[in-house]
Amino acid sequence: MISVIVPTLNPSHVRPLITAIEMNILPFPHEIIIETQIGYLKAVASGLQKSKGDIIVIMDGDGSHNPVHFRKMFALLDKTDIIIGSRYVTGGYSNDLFARRLVSRFFCKVARALLGFSNIADVMSGFIVMKKTVLKSIKLDSFGYKIGLSILTQSRGKFRITEYPITFEKSHIHDYVKLRNIKDGVQTVTFIVKLFIHRVLKVEL
């Protein structure tokens, strides 16, 4: 079974996304876990704890991650354990606001340099497909602000990681984007620094 975790501030906003998920995931057995807890981290962590599938999908609830990529991403699981929906490999693209594209690129470069992910282009992606075995090997309470980066950090050297090119769509929810813009910068920098300290000093986060 496939578990799809969708965090959202308002369940009514994700109805079109749920329809798209159903269209692109059938006939595979699946569950769609809608999480409405305040805070992206808490919502995703709660969804992961509830998930029952052998395959786990984490995607944004604002329409920026398109389920049309599901089938090709799932097909890669024969050869890999974690698949990152990547904006920055050949064939990938972002339709996000220009300023947010620049900021995202900057943070990716900083994270790659400080954390040693030279072979992964889009370390800040929030579109993740992974096997249940990956989830069982990581600590949910060690997650930080960026779920994808947390998974990559804890999976380093233990699991095979592959990037799949996606088109990142502009958010369909204005308030969601506004909220992210207010907090993203400081939280992202803080989290990358914490991971860097952990990597260098081997201290607990």
Which letter, b or e, does each residue of 56-72 get, where b requires 16 or more Cβ atoms within 10 Å of its Cβ?
A: bbbbbbbbbbbbebbee
Q: Quick check: 181 and 101 in contact, CB under 8 A?
A: no
How many independent structural domains does the chain possess?
A: 1
Q: Which CATH number characterizes residue 58's domain?
A: 3.90.550.10
pLDDT by residue, tens only, the chain of 205 residues = 999 999 887 788 889 999 999 999 999 999 999 998 777 888 888 899 999 999 999 999 888 899 999 999 999 999 999 999 999 999 999 988 888 888 888 889 988 988 889 899 999 899 999 999 999 888 776 556 678 888 998 888 899 999 999 999 877 654 444 445 556 667 777 778 778 777 776 655 5
Q: Which domain holds residue 124?
A: 2-201
Q: Quick check: 82 and 129 in contact, CB under 8 A?
A: yes
